[in-house]
A and B are shown apart, each in its own frame.
Chain A
């Protein structure tokens, strides 16, 4: 199963989840807002009618009228039954003394009602104890607090909320399962194209190897028989370039697999060893090379490829560093950092494009195929690390975090 498919599945399912959540979220928000509004209308009616509210039928229909056939019956605050069905209590406050002026509720005792209303005096309107709506208002200089029970009215809204939540989870899960099943078919053409590309690279690589080896050998024979000439030297240089390219191509196609056999080994040891081996080459190239390697750093990874990574960093430095190059390896809080600094004349700024295949920053001379750092990046990625390049203070910096 490839990376593209996994990513697609993840993003698709996240989109489904987010969209559903937004949609149902808005729907539920509107639901509760309307419930609040309906409740406020009732408390308003109570505030206007006072005690008469309880006995009197709904304001909208002053007389009984014959029922209209078909259609829905009256709902919510418009219902003429409102007065008979609403459960509430009202407390008046005169000089901070609370008197129960209306008491049509079962769930709350009279003392409780008085206490409850006292605690709400400071607010204007809102929900209290979850399913009760209240309103604070003044009439003829007296403050009143009315609390109505909306438990039955709110039940459908809460049910909808819960069903929405369950629905979102269920649909998200189902889409995940669906995509998992369908994914293979969907991605089969991409997988096929991927496979063909890999096969082609491998084939091309194979087809190049033998001829290059033969050309090298024939060249050698010619030079031994008739002595080296400028032309034979030129052919040799070109063949060397192609050899390097082919070797890298091969390693790259292996790395795209991202399947790495890991083992624990001493990174400090490996880096130190390679540094010592390469010192001579730096000296010969006239580059002052210094290193700062922290001891005892272990890494869980593929030793061979890390070795190639280091060797590639050195090759890069040997090619491009002017006068000075530095290597540092340190570890802090479980994060390992390997830094390569090459003195350079390049302009300041980020330089992450060096990791693109076939890109070189300077006027590349011989042997630069632009593949080396792309290879380094692949190795870093295969080890779940990060790599970054920039030019700072006349130094080209390569920072690898593992």
Chain B
């Protein structure tokens, strides 16, 4: 699986690059919105893991772009406030900070399964 991992923290990026590659995934990283777009233009990916506080280009815009390119998005939420969340775009899956690697890996696995079987993870995730 080709993953583009985009969070505005270098430590997090480097740690997850190692973890995800260890799980046999191909990983590219991006630090801000413009990097995300340029990397996606170079080559598409199977999954975009995006933090909602990404700088330079807002997360909703990136999500819209990803939707157009038919790239599923796993949103990393830094804000638990429902009201603020509801003005952001719905994505195929989301995970709230703070999270442990096992939680992220589980999410990716679930997403992979549901994408390969055709239905959106939203219906499974809605309950949470």
Contact = CB atoms under 8 A, between A and B. Distances in A.
A41 B82 CA distance: 78
Contact of B80 (A214, A239, A242, A247): A247
A243 B19 contact: no
Contacts, number: 63
A304 B83 CA distance: 13
Contacts of B16: 217
Contacts of B18: 221, 224
Contact of A218 (B11, B82, B96): B11
B12 A214 contact: yes
A61 interface: no
Contact of A214 (B15, B78, B79): B15
A14 interface: no
Contacts of B19: 217, 220-221, 224
Given A210-B9, A221-B18, A224-B22, A216 B100 contact: yes
B11 to A, nearest CB: 5
Contacts of A243: 98-100
A242 B79 CA distance: 17
A110 to B, nearest CB: 84
B82 A304 contact: yes
Given A220-B19, A224-B18, A214 B11 contact: yes
Measured as residues with beta carbon below 8 angstroms from the partner, the interface class of chain A is: 20 to 34
A212 interface: yes
Most chain A beta-carbon neighbours within 10 Å: one of B15, B79, B81, B98: B98
Interface in B37-94: 78-82
A250 B15 contact: no
Interface in A239-295: 239-240, 242-243, 246-247, 250-251, 254, 261
Contact of B15 (A206, A212, A217, A254): A217
Contacts of B98: 208-210, 212-213, 216, 242-243, 246-247
A261 B15 contact: no
Nearest to B99: A213
B27 to A, nearest CB: 13
A250 B12 contact: no
A251 B79 CA distance: 10
B78 A210 contact: yes
B101 A210 contact: no
A250 B99 CA distance: 14
Interface in A197-225: 206, 208-210, 212-214, 216-218, 220-221, 224
**Which of B18, B80, B127 has most chain A Cβ within 10 Å?**
B80
A254 B84 CA distance: 11
Max count, chain B CB within 10 A of own CB: residue among A212, A217, A224, A239: A217
A379 B81 CA distance: 15
B115 interface: no
Contacts of B79: 206
Interface in A157-213: 206, 208-210, 212-213
Given A217-B19, A224-B18, A254-B81, A209 B97 contact: yes
Interface string B8-41: 0101100110110010000000000000000000
B100 A214 contact: no
Given A210-B12, A217-B101, A250 B22 contact: no
Contacts of B127: 307
A208 B97 CA distance: 9
User: Which of A212, A216, A236, A247 has the most chain B CB within a 10 Å cutoff?
Assistant: A216
Nearest to B22: A224
A185 to B, nearest CB: 28
Contacts of A214: 9, 11-12, 15
Contacts of B81: 250, 254
Shortest 3 CB-CB contacts between residues of A and residues of B? A217-B15, A212-B98, A209-B97
27 contacts: A206-B79, A208-B98, A209-B78, A210-B97, A213-B99, A214-B9, A214-B12, A214-B15, A216-B98, A216-B99, A216-B101, A217-B15, A217-B16, A217-B101, A218-B11, A218-B15, A220-B15, A220-B101, A221-B15, A221-B18, A243-B98, A246-B98, A247-B80, A250-B80, A250-B81, A254-B81, A307-B127
Given A210-B12, A212-B97, A304-B82, 9 more contacts: A206-B79, A210-B78, A210-B98, A212-B98, A213-B12, A216-B99, A217-B19, A250-B80, A250-B81
